[in-house]
Amino acid sequence: MNYRIDYCIIKHILIVYTGKFKRINVMNSLNVVMPERNFLFMGKKAKLILCVILSIVILCGCTSGNRPVNTPGLNSTGKTFSIVTSFYPMYLFARSIANNIDNVTVTNMAPPQTGCLHDYTIRPGDMKLLEKADVFIINGAGIENFIQEVAHQLPLLKVVEASKGIQLLKNNANAETEFNPHIWVSPSGAIKQVNNIADSLVALDPGNADLYKRNSADLIIRLNDLKSRMDSELKTIKNRNIVTFHEAFNYFAKDFNLNIVALIESTPDRQPSPNEIIATIKTIRDTGTKAIFTEPQYSADAASTISRETGAKIYVLDPIVTGTDSPPLDDYFTKMNKNLEQLKEALK
């Protein structure tokens, strides 16, 4: 029990009624105050208040057994541990790992409708947010192209790279970065990233280590179950050729043995040229591909043109990069289950 509060209360009341005071020991464990003079001559009201307060303090001390109260979720310093994430999928993972830990906050830096951070520019408000953070969780693999600027301005900020140690797939020659950063779209990749994030939080905030471990273990069980179920429901599909919007689903395709024969846009936010559209149409006809997958974050205009020319139907796969300000904890699973239903419908 924290007796400092009791001491301050008693001190305040005794000052009001007696003016001068000194410490004495009560039951060899409580530091309280008694008046240096005039206690015997205090008024009845003052004596009554003093006796009531001393009784409460002594009873609380006996009840607590002289041991500090362990508040669930408090870390070793007793301070709030502030986690900031770069964008939506990292936010979902970090929130689940830190779920129900009282003194841990998780804040997403980029607005939830930003999508992938390919062209994201760091804002003054972002830097102010990061100045107060204990840790900044990023995807890495080149998607946060502003990270060097952050490191330069905030050299003491702890940065956790969720893709660290994960074998990366190479992008096509037209992509902005050499390696594909969309690891989270694959359940296998998500499991590795959750492990990386959890291990880092355990090291940085050891007071909450057991809670991070418990939450991450629960999340990984769910991700493994998701992967197993998706694998079971997709393994019997015969035509495994698909066209995706851009390279967001390469890790996903590797997980489930799907063959991406073409991309609608080799670079996000850049409409394909007429020659690129013609090449995609030819590839679809040559391979007998029946499904084109767009993404809800981007325009489907080019996909509609290709669909009209080839007869391939349009479906939607969500790379889970956008959401609401306060998304449900299971938003990753909700969207991945919708992706599974779209694939089953498209490739049946």
Rounded to the nearest angstrom, the gap between the alpha carbon of residue 106 and the centroid of all alpha carbons in its chain is 6
Whether 270 and 293 have beta carbons less than 8 Å apart is answered as no
DSSP string of 44-90, one letter each residue? HHHHHHHHHHHHHHHHHHHHHTT-----TT--TT-SPEEEEESSHHH
pLDDT of residue 77: 55
pLDDT of residue 268: 67
Other CB atoms within 10 Å distance of the CB of residue 156: 5
The amino acid present at 315, given as its one-letter code, is: Y
pLDDT of residue 43: 54
- Reported as a single tens digit per residue, the pLDDT across 79-97 is 899 999 999 999 999 999 9
Whether 295 and 348 have beta carbons less than 8 Å apart is answered as no
Reading phi first (left if > 0) and then psi (alpha if -120 to 50, else beta), residue 165 is in: left
pLDDT of residue 288: 95
pLDDT of residue 173: 66
- Reported as a single tens digit per residue, the pLDDT across 33-54 is 333 334 444 454 444 544 444 4
Reading phi first (left if > 0) and then psi (alpha if -120 to 50, else beta), residue 302 is in: alpha
Distance between CA atoms of 347 and 342, rounded to whole angstroms?
9
In whole angstroms, how far apart are CA 261 and each of 257, 280, 319, 342? 13, 9, 18, 18
pLDDT of residue 49: 47
Distance between CA atoms of 300 and 239, rounded to whole angstroms?
23
Which backbone phi and psi does 82 adopt, to 5 degrees?
A: -100, 120
pLDDT of residue 23: 37
pLDDT of residue 209: 98
Distance between CA atoms of 6 and 11, rounded to whole angstroms?
8
Q: Where are the alpha helices (DSSP H) in 169-292?
A: 187-204, 209-234, 250-255, 274-287
**Domains identified in the chain and CATH numbers:** 3-64 (no CATH), 81-229 (3.40.50.1980), 234-347 (3.40.50.1980)
Residue 304 is inside which H or E element, if any?
helix 301-310
DSSP 245: S
Distance between CA atoms of 15 and 90, rounded to whole angstroms?
54
The amino acid present at 146, given as its one-letter code, is: F
Helices and strands (H and E) in the chain: how many? 11, 10
Rounded average pLDDT per 10-residue block, the chain, 348 residues: 38 36 35 39 48 40 32 55 98 98 97 87 96 98 95 97 96 78 98 98 98 98 98 93 94 97 83 93 96 93 95 97 93 98 95
DSSP string of 110-150, one letter each residue? S-TT--S-TT----HHHHHHHHT-SEEEE--TTS-TTHHHH
pLDDT of residue 246: 87
pLDDT of residue 27: 33
Nearest to 201 by CA among 82, 329, 77: 82
